[in-house]
Amino acid sequence: MGWHYRKSIKVGPFRVDLSRHGIGHSIGGRRFHISTTPDGRRHVTVRLPGGFHVGKSFGGRRRYRY
């Protein structure tokens, strides 16, 4: 069984998310939201009236070659 940790800190319109995988951040409100995950992916979400929402992810995981 794995373990999880997540802590969220709100700083004005920004939010910083701390987890065991790294640091992510996000900005936006209820209708429009942009977030970046610790591995470099970006996710954009638009929420529409009536419970509809549209989301799109950009980028893949960062892979380092030595």
Domains held by the chain: number = 1
Residue 26 domain boundaries: 6-58
Residue 65 lies in a domain: no
Q: Is 15 exposed, middle or buried (0-12, 13-18, 19+ CB in 10 A)?
A: middle
Residue 1 lies in a domain: no
Residue 63 lies in a domain: no
Residue tagged 């995950």 (tokens): 37
Residue 64, pLDDT > 90, answer no
pLDDT digits (tens, 9 = 90+) for 12-31: 889 999 988 889 999 998 89
pTM of the model: 0.65
Helices (runs of H) and strands (runs of E) counted in the chain? 0, 6
- Asked if 50 and 41 touch (Cβ cutoff 8 Å), the reply is no
Residue 66 lies in a domain: no
